[in-house]
Amino acid sequence: MSTDSMQDLFEPAADGASTELHASTCNSCARTHFPAVDDCPACGGTVHSERLTTGRLSARTEVTAPPPGALVEPPYAVGIADFDSGIRVIGLVDAGTAVGDDVSVVVRRYHSNRTTFAFRNRTTGSEVSVNRKDVS
């Protein structure tokens, strides 16, 4: 994805800065969706904007063999964060973050002109370790 399309997923900010994921919650069935949707795919109801900022890491793994064409050099960590709204989101993870840790959402540059979001331990606040592959 290009930087522009990724910005639809989260608030733009400097590399390493806190951000918010753009989600939506249905007014009828209360399901939260990420990325945000215009209408609830579960029941067809109308939705309102939701911002996800903090959660808890429920799963984590190290990627040592990325798919062909990946722009992040291995090894790197990915994981699942659970948010209060009940939604679970997959993203890059701080190397110092363990399952069960409270996390915040931060912006991470993973290529010379591309950014994504990542989960950072809220207590230690250490940076996400991403090995960028800066190619033309």
Q: What is the pLDDT of residue 112?
A: 83
Q: Is the entire prediction scored with pTM above 0.75?
A: yes
Q: What is the pLDDT of residue 5?
A: 61
Task: Give just the sign of the alpha carbon dihedral 77, 75, 72, 123.
Answer: positive
Residue 11 is which amino acid? E
Question: Would you say residue 8 has pLDDT above 90?
Answer: no
Q: Which residues pair with 119 in a beta bridge?
A: 93, 105
Q: What is the pLDDT of residue 125?
A: 67
pLDDT, the chain, mean: 88
Going by pLDDT thresholds of 50, 70 and 90, the confidence category of residue 96 is: confident
**What domain count does the chain have?**
1
Q: Are residues 117 and 91 in contact, defined by beta-carbon separation less than 8 angstroms? A: yes
The pLDDT tens digits for 14-73 are 988 999 999 999 999 999 999 999 999 999 999 999 999 999 999 999 999 999 999 888
The separation between CA 46 and the C-alpha centre of its own chain, rounded to angstroms, equals 24
- Domain coverage including residue 97: 3-132
Q: What is the CA radius of gyration of the chain?
A: 15
